[in-house]
Amino acid sequence: MPAPSSRGRTKARCSGLGRKGGGRATGTATHDHDPAPGSILVVATLDPRLAPVIGRLAGLVAETGSPLSHLAILAREHGVATVVGVPDARLRFASGTRLLVDGATGLVELLDASPSTAAGGGT
């Protein structure tokens, strides 16, 4: 799964299963359904109740869902980097970690870990 990087940090890379879009973004992962502006929201499913927060996100990563779901389409229309079908995304990408989300390729990459995640903890 994760492999050590040249600086001793753990890098995790994974790709979504479905089609994606919305460009490329970096930001801090959050599992909070009221995210701060510029966050990357990591969720289990594409819940339509998240529609009001789409405009403030840098990225959206979902474990399940369809790239043709209303929320995925709405996110892409707002230019939010979106990747769906990322198994165990909430476990792989804890709140507080920095992520790169590439909606064009479906890549989600852990850029650096928060101190609790790097030590094996997490949220």
Distance CA 66, CA 5 (A): 32
Q: If 0-12 CB within 10 Å is exposed, 13-18 middle and 19+ buried, where does residue 110 land?
A: buried
Residue 71: phi and psi, rounded to 5, are: -65, -40
Q: Which of 31, 33, 70, 78 is catalytic?
A: 70
Task: Let me know: does 47 contact 71? Beta carbons within 8 Å.
Answer: yes
Among the listed residues 117, 20, 3, the one whose alpha carbon sits nearest the alpha carbon of residue 72:
20
User: Is 70 a known active-site residue?
Assistant: yes
Active-site positions read 70
